Amino acid sequence: MTVRQRSMAKRIILKDLNQELRLFQRRILIVGFLLLLGVLLIIARLCILQWFQHERYTTLSNENQLTIIPIPPNRGLIYDRNGVLLAENLPVFSLELIPDKVANLQKTLRELREFIQISDNDVAQFQKQIKQQRRFEKVALKSQLTSQEVAQFYVNQYRFPGVLINAELLRYYPLGEVMVSALGYVGRINTADLQTLDISNYSGTNYIGKLGIEKSYENILHGQVGNEQVETDASGRIIRIMNRSSPVPGNNLYLTIDSQLQMAAVAALGDHRGAVVAIEPATGQVLALVSQPAYDPNLFVTGISQKDFDALNKSLDQPLFNRAIRGQYPPGSIVKPFYALTALNQNLISTEWHVYDKGWFMLPNSTHRYRGYKKEGLGSVNVRQAIAQSSDIFFYELSRKIGIEGMSNILNAFGFGKDTGIELREELPGLVPTPAWKRANKGSAWYPGDTIITGIGQGFLLVTPLQMASAVAALSMRGNRYHPYLLLKQETSRLTEYNKLLKPETKVNASAIAWETVIGGMEDVISSPQGTGYRFGKPPYSVAAKTGTAQVFSIKQNENYKDLKIPERLRDHSTFIAFAPVEDPKIAIAVIVENSPDAAKVARKVIDTYLLSTTPLPLTV
């Protein structure tokens, strides 16, 4: 076969018409099936939309939307050491607006006032909240609606798209001003709070701890936010709940405070300005912490009016000032036992060393007389007698022996001049002066006269009532100083955790004879006929104490304080520290009463309540 013949053979194509027909028919069937299936799916989807999801898509067509609504957790409750409720949550109805859904805000506010009592303060607080939150978030206009106001709103709700009634829990303090010095209060979240908050965990929360325990333990009391996925209509009303994640409530707290003792301290102070702090010496637990006068913390929860705030803030009595932890006072003679302790322990003096108190003292090469409180003097006194009779002349001499550095050291060892570490963040440290401090802050040298007056608790020396109570508690425990604290335990639904210190914060070492002499002198303050604690009276229990006077202003050398007609607010403050019983201390107390000599009387009433009351015994951990 030639090449030409082979080439022609290759171009011959055999065609199978039957196979091609079958292939075409199969393709037609597949395409037809797919088209039919698509039509059936469309019909089925239309049926579902029309019959089974008609209501859902009808509401959506009316501008409904799915919204995630935060559910704020219930704030933890606060109790005293015996289970008395100090801070609770009361259910209330609040009027809330969603600014983004309110067409005319001013008109809405005006029309709401026709049947709901909305004060100018409510409006002012509302305007502040609007600026701090996003426009699609709910903002409270008024809390604690009456049942009549709620009913009237629901009748007229159709007129107010974007306005809602919401049930919430509002913080309430049953004992009011009695407990505010320790508890503090919660208030509305403001711009400053937002800078430090975990915004995601505070969605839906309007309140936060502002002062006291409420602020210090905010992270424990608040809990964890939950949320709901809900369907809302155009006015913001909830149609139905799609999904829910429950919030975790905050922990309940039990404080070391004995509310009955707290009330006794408030009653004992009466109309006086001052402070009382009582501590359990063996643990550091604070039994009472009172500042008087005080204020009702419930005023601040939903936002205090400007009028009420001005009345508190401008008052000469300073009710907003927490004297127990922020009041920095000259301690007066209550520091004398601490100086005596260090002098005895360092053998600078003996128990028999004495000074002749002739009513005045002069430094060498000086003509200035430093007077004692008793013009004719006390005669010859040893250290125990000097404590009992509060001889200024003795401690003028003693301060020269110790020196300012030694005096500062012993005061620092007992916790003066620094924070005690209590949970209340508002605490101030007081001041224990030194030559270096005076050079840095006053620009002048330290003089011998500065040492002399520091020796009787005057001059630059400043202490707080809390420091005084902590120091006398350490004295009662022979130098074991425990950290003062307020949180006894916290409680969840599953466990209880106690806050208990196992060892003292610091230990002040001294000889047995030093302890016995100093504490014996403090017992004589009450039991001796010459003791300065006569205002305390003669109790049926043993007590060691020290009185003090804090001068508000100085008088001239030739003037007699008692002869002067001094306005009430310029009169001396009285200070008093004590612990009882001496052989087994259960309570240590510090009292300051401004412009009055009644500190010892106040302390007596408080200690009597604690040791002699027939009510249930304090909780022991």
For 413, list phi and psi in degrees, rounded to 5.
Answer: -65, -30
Report yes or no on 13 lying in a domain.
no
CATH number of 133's domain: 3.90.1310.10
Judge if pTM exceeds 0.85: no
Same domain, 249 and 301: no
Q: What is the pLDDT of residue 63?
A: 47
In a domain, 507, yes or no: yes
Mean pLDDT across the chain? 87
- Do 329 and 475 fall within a single domain? yes
- Please tell me the total count of domains within the chain: 2
- Is residue 441 a part of any domain in this protein? yes
Q: How far is CA 454 from the centre of its chain?
A: 33
Q: Does residue 184 sit in the same domain as residue 264?
A: no
pLDDT of 215-244, one tens digit each? Answer: 999 999 999 998 877 776 655 566 677 778
Domain boundary among 215, 235, 255: 255
Question: Could you tell me the residue range of the domain that residue 73 belongs to?
Answer: 67-255
pLDDT in tens, 49-102: 677 666 655 554 544 566 777 888 999 999 999 999 999 999 888 888 888 778
Q: State whether 140 and 166 are in the same domain.
A: yes
The span from the CA of 212 to the CA of 253, in Å, is 13
Q: Report DSSP state, residue 557.
A: T
pLDDT at 14: 54
* Local confidence band at 192 (pLDDT 50, 70, 90 cut-offs): confident
Q: What are phi and psi of 232, to 5 degrees?
A: -120, 155
In a shared domain, residues 114 and 127: yes
Rounded to whole angstroms, the Cα distance separating 107 from 62 reads 25
Lowest mean pLDDT of 445-449, 496-500, 519-523, name the range.
496-500
248's CB contacts (< 8 A; 6+ apart) are: 73, 223, 224, 226
Mean per-residue pLDDT, 395-400? 97
**pLDDT tens digits, 147-157:** 888 888 888 88
Tell me the H-state helices in 270-335: 298-301, 306-313, 323-326
Residue 346 counted as domain residue: yes
The set of residues, in sequence order, having a beta carbon less than 8 Å from that of 339 and lying 6+ positions away, is 395, 398, 399, 402, 407, 410, 455
In whole angstroms, give the CA distance from residue 471 to residue 481. 7
Same domain, 465 and 535: yes
Residue 62 has a pLDDT of 46
Task: Tell whether 227 and 290 lie within a shared domain.
Answer: no
Q: Are residues 233 and 357 in the same domain?
A: no
**Token digits of residue 452:** 């002399």
pLDDT at 502 over 60: no
Final residue in a domain of this structure, among 214, 239, 255: 255
DSSP 548: E
What's the confidence (pLDDT) of residue 501?
55
Question: What pLDDT, on a 0 to 100 scale, did the predictor assign at position 619?
Answer: 46
- C-alpha closest to that of 466 among 223, 602, 288, 301: 288
Same domain, yes or no: 241 and 267: no
Domain boundary among 214, 234, 255: 255
Q: Do 188 and 285 reside in the same domain of the chain?
A: no
Statement: residue 313 has pLDDT above 80: yes
Does any domain span residue 8? no
In a domain, 23, yes or no: no
Q: How far is CA 195 from CA 185, 198, 247, in A?
A: 20, 9, 23
| 123 is a domain residue | yes
Is the pLDDT confidence value at 111 over 90?
A: no
**Domain membership flag for residue 388:** yes
d(CA 601, CA 599): 5
229/294 same-domain check: no
Instruction: Tell me: cis bond preceding 293? Omega within 30 of 0 counts.
Output: yes
Examine the domain organization and report whether 566 and 544 are in the same domain. Answer: yes
* Tokens (6 digits) for 288: 């009472």
- Give catalytic residue positions: 333
- Burial tier of 89 (Cβ tally within 10 Å: 0-12, 13-18, 19+): middle
Residue 555's domain is classified under what CATH number?
3.40.710.10
pLDDT (tens digit, 9 = 90+) per residue, 244-283?
888 999 999 999 999 999 999 999 999 999 999 999 999 9
